[in-house]
Every structure is written in C-alpha cells, then in structure tokens.
C-alpha cells in the first residue's frame, strides 16, 4: 500500500479560500527521501495548476520536527545511479518551491536542519515555533559535506553575504530567537499558534493582486533559478562524484552512528 506522505487540501474556513495546507507526515522525522520529495512535487504541481488555489502553507504532522533535511540513507551506501536520481528530485523540489506562483508560507513547528531549512527558505514567509529546543540552519559542513551553490544562494538571498559566510562555513544551527535575529525566519509564535498565525499572514499576502506579486517574485528570484536551470546536469554529476568519495561516505557513516548513539 502506498503511504500518504502529505495531505494537501483547499480550506475554506474563516473566509480563507484558495489556501492549501500541506502536512508532511513521513515518520519519524520527515527526512526528505525520494518518495516524500516526489509526493511533495506532485502535490505542488497540482496546486499550481488549480486556478482556485492562491496560497500554500507547508507544515509538519510529526512532533518536534518540521523536517530533518535530506534523508542521509538516500546518499549513504547507494549506487551512483540512485544518488543521481535522488539529487534530481532534490533539485526539482527546490525549483518548484523557489519558483512557485503561489504565496508559500512555512509553518515551522519543529527543528529544521539542512534540507529542511532549505525548504523553509524557498517560501515567501516563515513562522517558527518559539521553542528554544528547536533549531534551524544549514549544518552540512558539520556532516563533512558541502552545501551546493543553490543552497548557498538561497541562504544568501535570505540573510545576506556575511551571515551566510558564518552560517555555512561553521554549519551553524540557530535557535528560533537567533534565526529571527538574522532574518532566517520572519516571526516567532507559541507552538500552538504556528498554523493560525500562518493563516493570518496568508490573508495579508493574498490582499496583493496575484499578477503584481508573481511578477515581482519572479524578477527577484529568476537569476538564482536560472543559475541552477542552466547547470542542472553538471550539478548532478558534481553531487554524485562528491558523495561517492570514500572519505565522504565515511563521514556520513560516522554522522549516522552519532545520531543513533545520541538517541541511546
């Protein structure tokens, strides 16, 4: 049986029509594997074509975690062919979200490292649960891997050049308060208010005529999107070459062990 990885539907409560809520529910931590990435892309594609849909809120159904980022098991001990397919799906998710015509809001109700942070940063607006136990950031270097240029560009477009240098080189994970301070998220609210606040924020964004907002968004994001679009195949090749190295595989193995030990 196929597992429903997310739910997307159009809501009409409280006068808010044309807004879909996508809830990632891939236990235990919504790590972005091929299946979840594909489901998310298909759902977004359908919403994008649905003329009655103007906005999307993405959130998590898993407790304490928005998304643990890319599923390390998709990159560890896998064939180069598999790694290539996986990376294409990661690219596709980023391209679809970063270039979406919809108003996209991330309701970050838990930790959101690496690919989870990337996904949130593709949205137009980010609301995070004000819980100091949660963290968000691009921590790739801590795993011994390198965030590719389009992860870096997304971060730089969000928080600026100097903060990106520090954040990426040190692989920093920020508390919600720190993330708000550097502009990685836009608003903090108590955990039980993340979704309602996202809905309120959506009302403000939907008050702007779609065509004006969409053209403006495209004008700002297109150069970053074009950069990946014109380098997609090389980016896949670079990823496969990099991730297949013995030293990188070893780092990933050590990191996975650390995750398991930390739990024990």
List 140, 143, 172, 252, catalytic entry: 140
Structure tokens at 8: 């997307």
Interacting positions 121-180 with ligand L52RLTOW (CB under 6 A): 139-140, 143, 145-148
**Active-site residue flag, 139:** yes
* Listed residue (251, 238, 236) closest to 94, CA to CA: 236
Nearer to ligand L52RLTOW, 203 or 257 (CB): 257
Task: Write down the H helix ranges in the chain.
Answer: 34-49, 80-98, 115-121, 149-159, 161-170, 176-182, 194-206, 210-229, 232-243, 246-263
**Which member of 72, 168, 179, 185 binds ligand L52RLTOW (CB under 6 A)?**
72
Interacting positions 25-44 with ligand L52RLTOW (CB under 6 A): 28-29, 31
Cα 250 to Cα 75, 93, 144, 227, 243, distances in angstroms: 12, 27, 9, 31, 10
**Active-site residue flag, 115:** yes
Nearer to ligand L52RLTOW, 37 or 53 (CB): 37
**Which member of 69, 102, 123, 167 binds ligand L52RLTOW (CB under 6 A)?**
69
Structure tokens at 154: 């997304």
End-to-end Cα distance, the chain: 31
Is residue 243 reached through a cis peptide bond, with omega within 30 degrees of 0 on the bond before it?
Answer: no
Residues that bind ligand L52RLTOW (CB under 6 A): 28-29, 31, 64-65, 68-73, 111, 113-115, 139-140, 143, 145-148, 238-239, 242-243, 259-260, 263
Active site residues: 70, 115, 139-140
């Amino acid at each position: 049986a196929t597992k429903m990885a997310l739910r997307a539907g159009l809501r009409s409560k409280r006068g808010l029509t044309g807004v879909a809520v996508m809830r990632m529910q891939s236990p235990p931590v919504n790590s972005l594997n091929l299946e979840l990435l594909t489901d998310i892309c298909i759902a977004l594609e359908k919403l994008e074509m649905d003329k009655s849909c103007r906005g999307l809120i993405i959130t998590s159904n898993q407790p304490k975690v928005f998304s643990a980022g890319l599923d390390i098991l998709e990159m560890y001990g896998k064939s180069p062919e598999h790694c290539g397919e996986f990376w294409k799906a990661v690219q596709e998710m980023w391209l679809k979200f970063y270039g979406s015509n919809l108003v996209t809001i991330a309701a970050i109700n838990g930790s959101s490292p690496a690919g989870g942070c990337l996904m949130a940063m593709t949205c137009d607006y980010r609301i995070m649960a004000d819980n100091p136990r949660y963290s968000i950031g691009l921590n790739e270097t801590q795993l011994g891997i390198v965030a590719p240029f389009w992860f870096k560009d997304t971060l730089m477009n969000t928080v600026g050049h100097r903060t990106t240098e520090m954040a990426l080189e040190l692989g920093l994970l920020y508390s919600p308060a720190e993330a708000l301070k550097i502009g990685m998220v836009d608003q903090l609210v108590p955990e039980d208010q993340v979704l309602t606040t996202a809905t309120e924020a959506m009302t403000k964004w939907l008050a702007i005529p779609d065509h004006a907002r969409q053209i403006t968004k495209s004008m700002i994001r297109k150069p970053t999107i074009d950069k990946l679009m014109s380098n997609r195949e090389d980016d896949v090749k670079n990823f496969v070459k990099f991730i297949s190295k013995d030293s990188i595989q070893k780092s990933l193995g050590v990191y996975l062990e650390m995750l398991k030990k930390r739990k024990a």
